[in-house]
């Protein structure tokens, strides 16, 4: 019997490996940017077309590769950073697996141009689907240029699983920001479809954060510094008043490598205990330097999760360092028994006596007395005569004269000639059953539920979910029909966002304007809002847009309909009446009537029941026990 186990061909094995290394164009961007950083580049340029589906190109001015290295870099498990197994526990570089470029070359058209500084000529290699097409000598500048074209061209099933260009480009920006924040001394540039998205010059950590997330970020940052034998911590945390509902601006870097750690995030949240509102998340940019032999990087395929030897000590040091910084910069309340010198009495006033204020009152003043002419200065040519400056009191009508003859005029009016409108009810707009139902009242229980009697028993409505359903259908109708009322603001609002958030707001602009928003302008780091929907308060605009951006980033809708649906859901959730708000009787009745006028009154926009009914038979059974 012949054997059934056989070795896979190299091109098939590379395609399988590519499924682990390359999930989307952002994975290619991450690998190429990290290789450029390891090459010692001081300037890195990233060029994207069609969200990376057509082209991902990374150009750097690093040390380049020789002819042999440029060919070997596309072989599996070929790397310049690992020689022995022990080297895995003393890593100081990014890429070390040695299979990223081989996996990328198996599923795309790759063009490599590289040249070392001491060489006169460089190397130009073209690979298509793991097949070497050409290798030539070319005149090139110092450094390396990788061009990845037509990603997943030979695996159409994987290409069909890619999301829309907007979603894929959002993932590329995330990877770009992580590498750029980890290496502030390197200059980074990002171009998408010919337009410049980022131009980040080499700077320090604080300036790099401000350049990435906007100029208003500088006032949010509180520096954190701590140095111990276990870890050295540097970076910044955001002030509690700038906390957001989403977890966008949260970055951990361990040895200049971006990581995700729920354990360390819990340490940061513990440091902010008592300073944040419920559901809010603080922003932080924390750089941790630990000995390489105390961490294990190779526990996750994407290398975004690592294992620490002493997590408990790291947790305690990080929490105390953040608490110390928040207290040191007067962000957190502290007990201070020092006397404030500014409250002391100045030396020049110590010998002076306090002067009590006096009030002079003219006891003979009568506001109802007739005005009399004052004595005029005689003999002066510029003075006024009494006849010029005052009129006689009898010429001015006194208030009693307004009522003279009023009684005689009232007697002349014939009361019988006055006709009144008939108050007789000639008909009813409603039938007897509707009138009877209108008389019945609604009741609110615990400021959460609305109880309304019906013919078969009673209905109990969740006021929050019911209002969400009402607002959801209103917003969905306004966006679809392109008609909504708007209230103009006397003073326009300026809302500040980073570039990623601004792109999302511009993408949603048409749908938001259909709900009632009016945008006066878009700038590099802020949006000017001059009009709001009728049911949106001015103080809620910033929170509403932040929650809307967060929802879109989490749900990443692909089509325009799903984006419209997400906008309507997010706005309904943000503006709906919360639990604990008392409603008047008219508001309760309006809520009930509006709910049952909806197309789907039974469920909220998030598929949760809005009301339940309790029949009389159910009540009878409960009392029959």
Please provide the DSSP assignment of 235-289 as one string.
EEEE-GGG-BSS--SEEEEETTEEE--HHHHHHHHHHTTTTS-TT-B--EEEEEE
Q: Is the pLDDT of residue 294 over 60?
A: yes
Q: How confident is the model at residue 584, as a pLDDT? A: 87
Q: How confident is the model at residue 182, as a pLDDT? A: 93
More confident site: 555 or 305: 305
pLDDT by residue (tens digit) across 428-446? 444 555 444 445 578 888 8
Alpha-carbon gap, residue 187 to 42, rounded angstroms: 6
What backbone phi and psi angles, to 5 degrees, belong to 103? -70, -40
Please state the rounded mean pLDDT for residues 535-544: 83
- Number of Cβ within 10 Å of residue 612's Cβ equals 12
Q: How confident is the model at residue 380, as a pLDDT? A: 45
Q: How confident is the model at residue 4, as a pLDDT? A: 80
* β-strand pairing of 518-522 with 526-533: antiparallel
pLDDT by residue (tens digit) across 114-138? 999 888 999 999 999 888 899 999 9
Please state the rounded mean pLDDT for residues 320-340: 72
Please state the rounded mean pLDDT for residues 157-167: 83
Whether 543 and 588 have beta carbons less than 8 Å apart is answered as: no
Judged by phi (left if over 0) then psi (alpha if -120 to 50, else beta), residue 130 lies in: left
123 exposed, middle or buried (CB, 10 Å; 0-12, 13-18, 19+)? buried
Q: Is the pLDDT of residue 153 over 50?
A: yes
Q: How confident is the model at residue 276, as a pLDDT? A: 86
Q: Is the pLDDT of residue 388 over 50?
A: no
Alpha-carbon gap, residue 363 to 302, rounded angstroms: 90
Buried b (16+ CB within 10 A) or exposed e, 160-173: eebeebbbbbbbbb
Please state the rounded mean pLDDT for residues 288-315: 80
Residue 591, H or E segment: helix 585-595
Weakest-pLDDT range from 166-175, 497-506, 582-591: 497-506
Please state the rounded mean pLDDT for residues 258-262: 89
Alpha-carbon gap, residue 552 to 570, rounded angstroms: 9
pLDDT band at 571 (very low <50, low <70, confident <90, very high): confident
Q: How confident is the model at residue 267, as a pLDDT? A: 93
Weakest-pLDDT range from 56-65, 144-153, 273-282: 273-282
Please state the rounded mean pLDDT for residues 179-193: 94
Contacts of 39 (CB under 8 A, 6+ apart): 60, 62, 63, 64, 143, 144
pLDDT by residue (tens digit) across 11-34? 677 666 666 678 889 999 998 999
94-108, 190-204, 507-521, range with greatest mean pLDDT: 190-204
Please state the rounded mean pLDDT for residues 599-616: 90
Whether 116 and 141 have beta carbons less than 8 Å apart is answered as: no
CA 453 to chain centre: 42
Q: How confident is the model at residue 476, as a pLDDT? A: 86
Please state the rounded mean pLDDT for residues 558-570: 73
Q: How confident is the model at residue 83, as a pLDDT? A: 55
| CA 288 vs CA 184, 227, 260: distances in Å | 15, 10, 13
Q: Is the pLDDT of residue 97 over 80?
A: no
Q: How confident is the model at residue 20, as a pLDDT? A: 62
pLDDT band at 234 (very low <50, low <70, confident <90, very high): very high
Average per-residue pLDDT for the chain: 80
Q: How confident is the model at residue 480, as a pLDDT? A: 79
Please state the rounded mean pLDDT for residues 595-624: 89
pLDDT band at 301 (very low <50, low <70, confident <90, very high): low
**DSSP helix/strand/coil, 197:** strand
Q: Is the pLDDT of residue 284 over 90?
A: yes
Reported in sequence order, the residue ranges of 418-467 that DSSP labels E, i.e. its strands, are: 443-445, 449-454, 457-462
pLDDT band at 87 (very low <50, low <70, confident <90, very high): low
Q: Is the pLDDT of residue 383 over 60?
A: no
Q: How confident is the model at residue 475, as a pLDDT? A: 86
pLDDT by residue (tens digit) across 211-229? 998 878 888 899 999 999 8
Residue 530, H or E segment: strand 526-533
Whether 26 and 174 have beta carbons less than 8 Å apart is answered as: yes
Please state the rounded mean pLDDT for residues 448-475: 90
More confident site: 163 or 43: 43
Q: Is the pLDDT of residue 346 over 80?
A: no
Q: Is the pLDDT of residue 1 over 70?
A: no
Q: How confident is the model at residue 401, as a pLDDT? A: 66
| % pLDDT > 90, the chain | 28
Contacts of 324 (CB under 8 A, 6+ apart): 226
| % pLDDT > 70, the chain | 77
Alpha-carbon gap, residue 306 to 298, rounded angstroms: 7
Q: Is the pLDDT of residue 499 over 60?
A: yes
């Amino acid at each position: 019997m012949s054997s059934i186990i056989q070795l896979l061909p190299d091109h098939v094995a590379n395609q399988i490996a590519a499924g682990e290394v390359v999930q989307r164009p952002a994975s290619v961007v991450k690998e190429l940017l990290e290789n450029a950083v390891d090459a010692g580049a001081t300037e890195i340029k990233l060029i994207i077309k069609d969200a990376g589906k057509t082209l991902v190109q990374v150009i750097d001015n690093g040390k380049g590769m020789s002819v042999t290295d440029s060919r070997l870099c596309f072989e599996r498990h070929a790397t310049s950073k690992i020689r022995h197994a022990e080297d895995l526990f003393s890593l100081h570089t990014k890429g070390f697996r040695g299979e990223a470029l081989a996996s990328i070359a198996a599923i795309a058209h790759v063009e490599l141009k590289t040249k070392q500084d001491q060489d006169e000529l460089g190397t130009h290699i073209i690979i298509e689907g793991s097949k070497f097409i050409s290798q030539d000598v070319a005149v090139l500048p110092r450094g390396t240029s990788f061009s990845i074209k037509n990603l997943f061209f030979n695996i159409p099933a994987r290409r069909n699983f890619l999301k829309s260009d907007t979603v894929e480009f959002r993932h590329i920006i995330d990877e770009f920001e992580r590498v750029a924040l980890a290496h502030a001394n390197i200059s980074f540039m990002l171009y998408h479809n010919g337009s410049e998205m980022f131009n980040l010059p080499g700077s320090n950590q604080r300036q790099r954060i401000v350049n990435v997330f906007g100029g208003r970020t500088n006032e949010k940052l509180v520096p954190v510094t701590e140095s111990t034998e276990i870890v050295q911590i540097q970076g910044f945390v955001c002030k509690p008043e700038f906390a957001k509902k989403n977890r966008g601006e949260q970055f951990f870097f361990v040895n200049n490598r971006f990581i995700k750690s729920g354990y360390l995030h819990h340490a940061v949240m513990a440091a902010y205990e008592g300073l944040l509102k419920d559901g809010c998340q603080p922003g932080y940019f924390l750089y941790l330097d630990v000995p390489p032999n105390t961490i294990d990087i190779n526990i996750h395929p994407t290398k975004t999760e690592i294992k620490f030897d002493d997590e408990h000590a790291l947790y305690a040091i990080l929490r105390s360092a953040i608490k110390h910084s928040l207290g040191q910069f007067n962000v957190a309340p502290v007990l201070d028994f020092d006397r404030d010198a500014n409250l002391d009495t100045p030396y020049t006033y110590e010998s002076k006596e306090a002067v009590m204020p006096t009030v002079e009152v003219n006891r003979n003043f009568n506001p109802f007395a007739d005005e009399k002419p004052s004595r005029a200065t005689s003999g002066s040519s510029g003075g006024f005569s009494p006849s010029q400056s005052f009129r006689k009191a009898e010429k001015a009508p006194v208030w009693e004269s307004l009522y003279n003859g009023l009684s005689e005029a009232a007697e002349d009016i014939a009361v019988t000639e006055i006709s009144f409108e008939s108050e007789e009810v000639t008909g009813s707009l409603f039938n007897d059953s509707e009138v009877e139902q209108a008389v019945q009242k609604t009741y609110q229980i615990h400021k959460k539920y609305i109880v309304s009697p019906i013919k078969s028993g009673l209905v109990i409505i969740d006021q929050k979910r019911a209002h969400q359903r009402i607002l959801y259908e209103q917003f969905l109708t306004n966006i679809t029909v392109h008609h909504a009322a708007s209230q103009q603001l006397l003073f326009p609002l300026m809302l500040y966002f980073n570039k990623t958030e601004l792109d999302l707001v511009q993408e949603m602009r048409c749908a938001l304007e259909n709900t009632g928003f009016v945008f006066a302008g878009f700038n590099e780091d802020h949006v000017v809002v001059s009009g709001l929907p009728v049911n949106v308060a001015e103080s809620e605009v910033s929170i509403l847009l932040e929650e809307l951006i967060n929802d879109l980033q989490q749900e990443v809708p692909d089509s325009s309909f799903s984006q419209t649906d997400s906008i309507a859901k997010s706005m309904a959730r943000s503006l709906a009446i919360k639990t604990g708000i008392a409603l008047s009787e008219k508001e309760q009745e309006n809520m009930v009537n509006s709910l049952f006028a909806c197309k789907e009154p039974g469920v909220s926009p998030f598929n949760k029941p809005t009301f339940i009914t309790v029949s009389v038979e159910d009540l009878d059974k409960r009392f029959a026990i």
